[in-house]
Structure 1
Amino acid sequence: MDTKSKNTLRNSGVIVIKSEHLLRNTGVKLIAFILAVLLLSTGIFVLEQTATTKMEGFGISETWDEQDYLKSSSLRSEVYSVYHDLFALADTYRSEDYIRSGALLDEDAVIEEYKLSLLSEDRSRFGLWEEELGDVNSYYYSERSDSTVPKTVIDVINSDAFMERHGKEIEKYREDQIQKQLQNYANTLNNLENAQKNFGLKWYIERDGQKKTSGEGVTPEALMQSKVYLENNKGKINASQEVRNYDYGGNGNTDNRIVMAFDDQKIDTMAQIYSQDRADAVLAVQVFFVCGLLSLICLVVACIGAGRRETDNDIHLLAIDRMYWDLHLIILTWVEGMLIAAGVACIMYRLPAYMSAILLIFAVALAYNYVLSLVRVVKAHRFMDRFGTVVLCKKCGRLIKRFCRSIRDFYRNVIKGRSLVMLLCAAIIIIAIVGMLIIALPPIGIILLGVALWFGAKRAKSLDQTIKGVERIYEGDTGYKIEVEGHGPVEEMAKNINNINEGLSTAVRDAVEKELKSERLKTELITNVSHDIRTPLTSIITYIDLLKKEDIDEESRERYIGVLEQKAARLKALTDDLFEAAKASTGNMEVHWDTVNVEALVNQGMGELEDKIEDSGLQFIVSRPQEKVMVHADGRLLWRVIENLLSNVLKYALPGSRVYMTIDRDLFTDRGVFIIKNISADPLNIPAEELLERFKRGDDTRHSEGSGLGLAIAKDLTELQNGQFDLTIDGDLFKATVYLELVADDDSVMAEEAGEAEAEEKGE
């Protein structure tokens, strides 16, 4: 590709981008919309004005298909209409006197029509002859033994009594029919006069040797010399070429001779009018199509930019787009129908043209606005979300599902598995059946009633015993048991109440024992706290008294001061442990969550306590995992737990024994595990739960320096970190297990990398 082609392609791309950006401009979109509305409105308005005001007598549809008036459907329709009137004049009406004589009426048919008119009227019309009909809710009435009395409406209206009574009404009905025929005759003559005025109609009728014409000197031969004529000579049709091949239906069968023709000058005048109207129609249609095409182009431009803005590529919906598009279409159809009706009214009542133009612009604007709204919805991929019918069907489906689910839940929660409810429903059904049987078959109904009463009394007895038993238990008689006889829902309920009572008695007994144990532990706690605080406090007071003596030497004074410092430190450590235990047990400690390496923390603890470990003579054996155990915990609190466990081992383990520590993963619970085991120097003759109580020590003599708070603090701190602290004692074997939540591998790797990076920064 040469440089010129590349530049051309680049320029084309720039033009496309600029064009797309231009189409998003609000002003451009508004101008395109207004032009689209005005252009289509102009085309329709020109078409409508041409059809209603400019064209003289012919419609656009009449002049569009045929250029020659003599070959147009309009002329053929006019010929057919005039011929139809002449046929009626010659073959049916004949003359006014002929009609007044009643010759066109069939007397029997008149009577039958009158009867049918009565049958089609409402009940109030039947009231004229109630004594003959009786009840008139239908055409059939109560049967009577007297066969002379009519039994149906048909019998009544065909009776002689009916004819005598309604003779005047029938005669009046006959006169009304004659008046209708006279009116039709007058309308026929009026139509012929209008045709004579507009088309120069001349006609000739010959019937039974009598001739009748539209004027003097009118002969069939002269009429048949016209451009447009039609002859029916006793059923044989002869017409000019233009109207010859037209279907005249049943009006071609007659015994008379009918000849009609239009004046040639009138036909020429109508042909000129037809040609002018056709030219106006063609021009109006051309204007309509050109305006429609331009309007469509403007609408496409508006649709391209619909929903877009110059600032971004998102689709922005308007407030009207929130309406469901099918509901919008229904409302639009109704409004458009009202506007069209108003426009038709403007044309019919010949109101000013600008009124119909305003209505037309408003109608087109609403229609195009709907199109743009639908385009924005489609662009935003919200077509189905804004499909009201689908949304309604979904909501109805959800309601039906909810209703079915309610029925299912009612069955499951109220009826299924609930014998008492089913028994109640069965009792209601049985009562209804027994009631019907007592009415229909009294003996069987009475027997079933007795059986039902016996069964009900038996059920009532069981229910009464259950109610009394519940009252006894409620009053505090926990040793009472309800007597259960037989099987059934009431008996099952009684058994369950007995089981509840037994369980309640056990629970009360356990609660009492627990309360006694709690009181005992509380007493021991107070005793132990008093003892542990009083011992260093007594030493402090004693040595202070010794220091008050003036005759002690300097060496003794320094020794006493050393003892005071030791006892004060002991008392401070005790109060610190007590304060920490209180905060841990109440959860009043802030937890800083982090990813902690358990193995590293254990190594740190053993490093800090290395001197004490060497002095203790204990051998520590650590089982390390192949993979690092990273847990979700607070490093400071977890270090305190490990420190307390190590300190506990150093204080109470058998000298020279081994201490086993294990760091591992619990794959079943997805938790990290730290286990420490040792042999106690003193016999452990107390339960593990009791050893976790505050100030409880395995050394009953309390000669060691422990406060009895270490394990309790370790347990509370572990639980603060959403962990679990278990203690197991087997003879002299002491085992403590700490469970903490593992961190996912990805998180642990990230935390480890962050820790290494931080260590490198510190090293730098």
Structure 2
Amino acid sequence: MDIKWKKFSHSLLTKIVFFIITILCFTAAITLFLDIVGLHHNDFDIVVEDSYYLGREYMQDSSQIIDNLTTLINFKSEENILNGGALTEEEISREEDNLFRDFEHSKRFNPKLSYKENYPLFQEIYADKIAQIKDELIQADLRNYNSTLRELENYRGVFYYVSDGDNTFTNGINNKEYFKKYPSYMIFDKSEQTVYPEEISKNKYYYWIVPDTSSLEQTNNTTLYIAFTDDFLDPRIDDWYRNKEFITYSLYKIMGLLLGLAIAFLYLIVIVGRKPEDDGVHLNFIDKLYIDFNIALCLLLIGSWFGAINFLLFENRIFEAVFPITLVIATLGLILVLSLVKHIKNGTLIKHSLTYTIFHKLFIFIKDVYNSGSVGVKIVLIVIAYPLLVALTFFMFPVTIGIGVWLALKKVQEFNAIKEGVEKVKDGGIHHKINLASSGEFAKLAADINSITDGLNKAVDNELKSERLKTELITNVSHDIRTPLTSIITYVDLLKNEKDQAKAEGYITIIEQKAERLKILTDDLFEASKASSGNIPVNCEKIDIVSLITQGLGELDDKIKEQKLEFKMNHPQDKVYIEADGKLLWRALENLLSNIFKYALDGSRVYLDVADIGTEVRIVIKNISAYELNISSTELLERFKRGDEARSGQGSGLGLSIAKSLIEIQKGRFNIEIDGDLFKAIIIMPK
């Protein structure tokens, strides 16, 4: 009997069935929960509410009406608003502060001066805008006043009366008893505060209206009456009952689904990796994935789900797509989780991780270094063993640290002796000998240095010559060329004395990268020099500019997709011809597009506008920069200037300069404009 049961419970079909049950229960529970959160505004409290008057919906409607009436009574009247009676000095001062912050980011602001010293200049420059502040605030208050009136007019089945003694707003009459005839009302004045039904005062959200009514009570003559008719209440009460029934039923279903999910998932945990014929854990191709990557993919799936749900929520399409999205992501996630479970059963959760593999190989490497008896033994002991020794002997760490300091000082003295000897040899004392009493690695290094006599002067002369050439080159180019060149020199110097082959290969790799970078900068500099000097032949011809741009964008389609950019091109329906050299013009456009690929915000739009302006054609390219463009357009056109102030990109800073020169030698005009993070390049060519 046990064998038959095991064959059934551990069969592939059983695993698939329970896998499907787990996924469906999880997906359905999530979908129902999001349905309550989204369509029913996260109103779980409605399940325990006894009536509509104790619910959130009633308080939301009441609070909104009271807010609107409070707004009107604070404004008093349209005449009061137009006379500036609704304005406060704080509002005006706040708007002036906003203008001053704009001034702080302008070129006229002097950071060396204090706030008080800059303020008169600010008042002079922004005099017109400061004068307009009050008018703008009055117009804003007037719009708010009128929109509030319209909103109150849209309420059906609601009667209200509010008055401060001088100003009155009502769609009924000033009579308490009149308002008390309706099935629900609120009376707030200096002598009475009454709500009906009385259970409203026990509503947990009653505090929503308390601050507003309290502020009304603080004014001596303010009176507020609100009454709700059956026309207003009946449909809302019906909706409340329907929502209560739906949410209650949905919560019962969610609990049932979660129970099914727990049972199915626990059963899967028990049988996953097992087969009827034995008790071993059987792994498949998915289980070959490193545990680190598995966990990372699980986190990625969770993040993808939240991202997709947020996107659908923003697009108002969540409820039609949440089930399939959750189903797919949950299926992939459960496969990965079950793979982790199998590794736990197999005892390989740690050993099958990439982190463990790397550290294990590192341990083997350290062990091999130790067994080799090379200088690596001492380095490993210092870097790894000593901190461990201090941790293990924390109860006597002063002694351990003292011994370590003494040994370190001894080695420092040997190092200083070698350093002083090298200094003397460098200064011309090539017969100087470095004598060390020890027999360690420093002694061997000192012996090697002592053997260096022949060819030292020649090496020094060559080095000085090399430094002189590098200095001349650095003097003639900008910071961008100086940086890779300095890096090359530094790593070449390190490579001369480096004994560790692994480090030497690393240095060579870096040198190769910097050399390639230097080649690109030099080529750009050469091209910029040719373009600016006008030494490039120009063969002008009749060119269809729209076709040229369209064809070029097609060639760059892979690059555009890679950076997730969306190009929007606007141009006349008729063909637009210009007089230009096609190759040079495309080279200039290519420089601008390359600039976009380097610095544009990923996923943003790029606009290409072609316009016929009489005897000329204007081409405008606009994009949003991924970097803050806290630089003027004039500075950005200078050579070796880049938009990213951190200079972390690979651009030479010559692209815009080359583009400008290429356009100008074709008798065109080139300019750029910057507005916040919007970068705009403008090319004007003759027709």
Q: TM-score, normalised on structure 2?
A: 0.50
- Give the Å deviation of 1:396: 9.2
Show the counterpart of 1:715: none
Show the counterpart of 1:314: 280
Show the counterpart of 2:464: none
Show the counterpart of 1:460: 431
- Give the Å deviation of 1:311: 3.3
Are positions 1:238 and 2:186 aligned together? no
- Give the Å deviation of 1:39: 2.9
1:117-516 alignment, distance < 5 Å:
117-121=98-102, 124-125=105-106, 127=107, 130=108, 136=110, 138=111, 140-141=112-113, 152-157=114-119, 159=120, 162-194=122-154, 196-197=155-156, 200-215=157-172, 217=173, 219-234=175-190, 237-240=193-196, 241-245=198-202, 246-247=206-207, 248-251=209-212, 252-254=214-216, 255=219, 256-325=222-291, 327-343=293-309, 345-346=311-312, 349=315, 351=317, 355-386=321-352, 406=379, 422-427=416-421, 460=431
Question: Closer, same or farther in 2 for the Cα pair 1:391/1:205, shift >3 Å?
Answer: farther
1:27-106 alignment, distance < 5 Å:
27-49=13-35, 60-90=43-73, 92-106=74-88
Show the counterpart of 2:658: none
Q: Percent identity?
A: 18
**What CA distance in whole angstroms lies between the structure 2 residues aligned with 1:84 and 1:289?**
39
Larger radius of gyration: 1
- The amino acid across from 2:77 in the alignment is S
Question: Closer, same or farther in 2 for the Cα pair 1:332/1:175, shift >3 Å?
Answer: farther
- The amino acid across from 1:377 in the alignment is H
Question: 3-state SS of the aligned residue for 1:372?
Answer: helix
Question: Closer, same or farther in 2 for the Cα pair 1:417/1:290, shift >3 Å?
Answer: closer
Question: Closer, same or farther in 2 for the Cα pair 1:59/1:112, shift >3 Å?
Answer: closer
Of the structure 1 ranges 267-276 and 402-411, higher mean CA displacement relative to structure 2 is found in 402-411
- The amino acid across from 2:83 in the alignment is S
Show the counterpart of 1:599: none
- Give the Å deviation of 1:431: 11
Question: 3-state SS of the aligned residue for 1:204?
Answer: strand
- Give the Å deviation of 1:276: 1.7
- Cα deviation per residue 1:538-586 (whole Å; 9 max; x = unaligned)? xxxxxxxxxxxxxxxxxxxxxxxxxxxxxxxxxxxxxxxxxxxxxxxxx
Show the counterpart of 1:116: 97
Question: Closer, same or farther in 2 for the Cα pair 1:329/1:182, shift >3 Å?
Answer: farther
- Give the Å deviation of 1:310: 2.8
Question: Closer, same or farther in 2 for the Cα pair 1:291/1:375, shift >3 Å?
Answer: same
Question: 3-state SS of the aligned residue for 1:67?
Answer: coil
Q: Is the 8 A contact 1:235 1:253 kept in 2?
A: no
Q: Is the 8 A contact 2:22 2:261 kept in 1?
A: yes
1:508-587 alignment, distance < 5 Å:
none
Question: 3-state SS of the aligned residue for 2:280?
Answer: coil
Question: Closer, same or farther in 2 for the Cα pair 1:69/1:207, shift >3 Å?
Answer: same
| Number of corresponding residues | 404
- The amino acid across from 2:76 in the alignment is R
- The amino acid across from 2:327 in the alignment is I
**What CA distance in whole angstroms lies between the structure 2 residues aligned with 1:95 and 1:386?**
75
Show the counterpart of 1:438: none
- Give the Å deviation of 1:430: 8.8
- The amino acid across from 1:205 in the alignment is V
1:744-763 alignment, distance < 5 Å:
none
- Give the Å deviation of 1:265: 4.0
Question: Closer, same or farther in 2 for the Cα pair 1:76/1:20, shift >3 Å?
Answer: same
**What CA distance in whole angstroms lies between the structure 2 residues aligned with 1:187 and 1:123?**
35
- Give the Å deviation of 1:282: 1.5
Show the counterpart of 1:700: none
**What CA distance in whole angstroms lies between the structure 2 residues aligned with 1:398 and 1:99?**
82
Aligned CA RMSD, in angstroms, stands at 4.5
- Give the Å deviation of 1:69: 1.0
- Give the Å deviation of 1:236: 5.7
Q: Is the 8 A contact 2:68 2:152 kept in 1?
A: yes
Question: 3-state SS of the aligned residue for 1:316?
Answer: coil
**What CA distance in whole angstroms lies between the structure 1 residues aligned with 2:280 and 2:95?**
75
Question: Closer, same or farther in 2 for the Cα pair 1:287/1:185, shift >3 Å?
Answer: same
**What CA distance in whole angstroms lies between the structure 2 residues aligned with 1:391 and 1:209?**
82
- Give the Å deviation of 1:223: 1.5
**What CA distance in whole angstroms lies between the structure 2 residues aligned with 1:295 and 1:85?**
48
- The amino acid across from 1:38 in the alignment is L
- Cα deviation per residue 1:355-396 (whole Å; 9 max; x = unaligned)? 432112113223322331222121111233356677788889
- Cα deviation per residue 1:41-70 (whole Å; 9 max; x = unaligned)? 2343345456666x6xx7542522313112
- Cα deviation per residue 1:148-183 (whole Å; 9 max; x = unaligned)? xxxx232331x3x65455331102222222233233
Question: Closer, same or farther in 2 for the Cα pair 1:100/1:334, shift >3 Å?
Answer: farther
Q: Extract unaligned runs of 5+ from structure 1.
A: 1-13, 142-151, 433-452, 467-488, 498-764
Show the counterpart of 2:613: none
- Give the Å deviation of 1:304: 1.6
Question: 3-state SS of the aligned residue for 1:238?
Answer: strand
**What CA distance in whole angstroms lies between the structure 1 residues aligned with 2:235 and 2:326?**
35
Q: Is the 8 A contact 1:67 1:275 kept in 2?
A: no
Question: 3-state SS of the aligned residue for 2:431?
Answer: helix
Question: Closer, same or farther in 2 for the Cα pair 1:231/1:353, shift >3 Å?
Answer: closer
Question: 3-state SS of the aligned residue for 2:162?
Answer: strand
- The amino acid across from 1:22 in the alignment is F
- Give the Å deviation of 1:263: 1.4
Q: TM-score, normalised on structure 1?
A: 0.46
Q: Extract unaligned runs of 5+ from structure 2.
A: 370-375, 384-403, 436-442, 452-687
**What CA distance in whole angstroms lies between the structure 2 residues aligned with 1:179 and 1:405?**
79
- Cα deviation per residue 1:692-742 (whole Å; 9 max; x = unaligned)? xxxxxxxxxxxxxxxxxxxxxxxxxxxxxxxxxxxxxxxxxxxxxxxxxxx
**What CA distance in whole angstroms lies between the structure 2 residues aligned with 1:430 and 1:345?**
70
